[in-house]
Structure 1
């Protein structure tokens, strides 16, 4: 199957005020297939949002390429406008994403007007609201965002994306600002949209529990790189990378507390970039490959559909 969206050797570097180069995304291969939900997980500051913005064309890569349906992403105004009909963003905070002075109707119709979509506007707005679970849709036409609950506001944001009939949604922490009771409803909606519309999604999150419930595949990101990727059930039931294991441990009774903070992206450690915080190295489990962990860099994962892991210990040969 040809990927719907592909990132190849993607890097996004920024120049800091003191002249140092921050490697926010530092070599990423990632694919999202049609009708597939992929979760991109990792702690704050690991590069998830920068990667998502680059996949949307909001950031220009320093190196590498983003392709959609096999064609490189165009960076002209006309090319990006056509691309964003197919790939829509859902933001974390629906309150911030909606103009408080616009009615629900105007918020959903805005994209239709920008892209000059033919057809009856009111019918398209009503259809999008209905698909997003706001029924009867006409009841919400004259409603303002402050009159809605958090879950309803997020549904309006999703309706605005659906109005353009995209192939792919990029959702950045789509339920992080919602009450626990509402999160399941929004996740169920995303799964229903995938089933009904064959809609693909890249869900950016720090929550592995969310990834377990919604994703087909999961990519774990640390300090600008994917360190483990594969089918969600394999990665989350048998994690091979110590970082993935630490993230998963918070769902159990004995969470692993990582030492220190994630390194500054202007000073990426040599060798395995996780080695200064690696529990396996600290406890001696990784002793057979400790020197490699500290000094030998790991290759960038290919982004294939099978499970891959960037860890010297996980890929070390078993000695009998």
Structure 2
């Protein structure tokens, strides 16, 4: 592995892209199909960390699995380095050498009967690595912060702390020298004292290796600390996206505002959303958030003359690039009025 300084993500072509992505699952006993991912465009550029944020059940893990080639899309496509992803066994094996998954539960990710050495070397053996296996494993462990690496070779997962186990999982991804990692809730199962260390590690890997990452999380605080860009997902679609500072300091979508309002440092009272997210097999008409929307419930949407549109008019799929975007009738009216007020 060679150290490199990546170019600014905004100036480079996407490394990984979802284009019009849909993933549906058959309903039980003749029920309607569940639209887990219901139209998503998303780009991840070289050296960029994108946080995919949303409640449990919003479709973010299904989207991540589809980007990894684990769940073929029902419609749309995934492209990597400008080429559409192919789903033959050979093509997927080559793709997964370049794109690696880091799961949230290191205890479940590691075989308790395998040593740390075997856990990290497993990917090399699957891909028939022709180089010096011991040196590759040692370098991956060292990059993941387990030094000296030889001290960990013969240890078993139960002999490690939670943070050390997560570093072993990360080393297992790094050993294949991927260009992008998909980290699904990478610190959710760790103590607060260890989370910062793992996040700092991911940032250091981006700096040293030019590594890109998609970080799947329900935690907006984590997104603030690690991401360049954030995509907020609700009921199968991205409803707001943009630079992390812009989205998290001036959220436009009512759903993003509600998620941010419950953070400990957030000003004002938390927004308590009523009800549960709708069933993905029965997505409502209009804005898919309108049944729980505090803006609609308070009458603000009515005063902005968009209440009927909120209930009846669907919103377009947001583009996958880096500019700030929001899928909300009310936010678009408010933003248009604000732009008009600052014009001479």
**TM-score normalized by the length of structure 2:** 0.92
1:220-239 alpha-carbon deviations (Å, 9 max, x no partner):
00000000000000000010
1:103 partnered with 2:121: no
Residue 147 of structure 1 is matched in structure 2 by 159
1:49-71 alpha-carbon deviations (Å, 9 max, x no partner):
00000000000100000000000
Q: Hey, what's the Cα distance between the residues in 2 that align with 1:175 and 1:230? A: 23
Residue 4 of structure 2 is matched in structure 1 by none
Q: Hey, what's the Cα distance between the residues in 2 that align with 1:285 and 1:85? A: 50
Q: Hey, what's the Cα distance between the residues in 2 that align with 1:32 and 1:179? A: 29
Partner of 2:29, secondary structure, is coil
Partner of 1:44, secondary structure, is coil
Q: Hey, what's the Cα distance between the residues in 2 that align with 1:227 and 1:41? A: 10
2:316 to 277, 299, 304: 299
Question: 1:309-320 counterparts in 2 under 5 A?
Answer: 309-316=326-333, 317-318=336-337
* CA-CA distance at 1:18 after TM superposition: 2.5
Q: Hey, what's the Cα distance between the residues in 1 that align with 2:61 and 2:132? A: 35
Q: Hey, what's the Cα distance between the residues in 2 that align with 1:139 and 1:99? A: 19
Gaps of 5+ in 2: 1-11
Q: Hey, what's the Cα distance between the residues in 2 that align with 1:48 and 1:18? A: 25
Residue 72 of structure 1 is matched in structure 2 by 84
Residue 273 of structure 1 is matched in structure 2 by 288
Question: 1:1-320 counterparts in 2 under 5 A?
Answer: 1-19=12-30, 20-251=32-263, 252=266, 254-287=269-302, 288-316=305-333, 317-318=336-337
1:251-305 alpha-carbon deviations (Å, 9 max, x no partner):
1252110000000001100000000000000001111100000000000001121
Partner of 2:306, secondary structure, is helix
Q: Hey, what's the Cα distance between the residues in 1 that align with 2:98 and 2:149? A: 24
* CA-CA distance at 1:204 after TM superposition: 0.1
Gaps of 5+ in 1: none
Q: Hey, what's the Cα distance between the residues in 1 that align with 2:82 and 2:67? A: 14
1:58-108 alpha-carbon deviations (Å, 9 max, x no partner):
001000000000000010000000000000000010000000000000000
1:190-229 alpha-carbon deviations (Å, 9 max, x no partner):
0000000000000000000000000000000000000000
Q: Hey, what's the Cα distance between the residues in 1 that align with 2:152 and 2:182? A: 25
Partner of 2:28, secondary structure, is coil
Partner of 1:171, secondary structure, is strand
Partner of 1:39, secondary structure, is strand
Q: Hey, what's the Cα distance between the residues in 2 that align with 1:34 and 1:220? A: 21
Compute the RMSD of aligned alpha carbons. Answer: 0.9
Q: How many residues align?
A: 320
* CA-CA distance at 1:314 after TM superposition: 1.1
**TM-score normalized by the length of structure 1:** 0.99
1:128-181 alpha-carbon deviations (Å, 9 max, x no partner):
000000000000000000000000000000000000000000000000000000
* CA-CA distance at 1:2 after TM superposition: 1.0
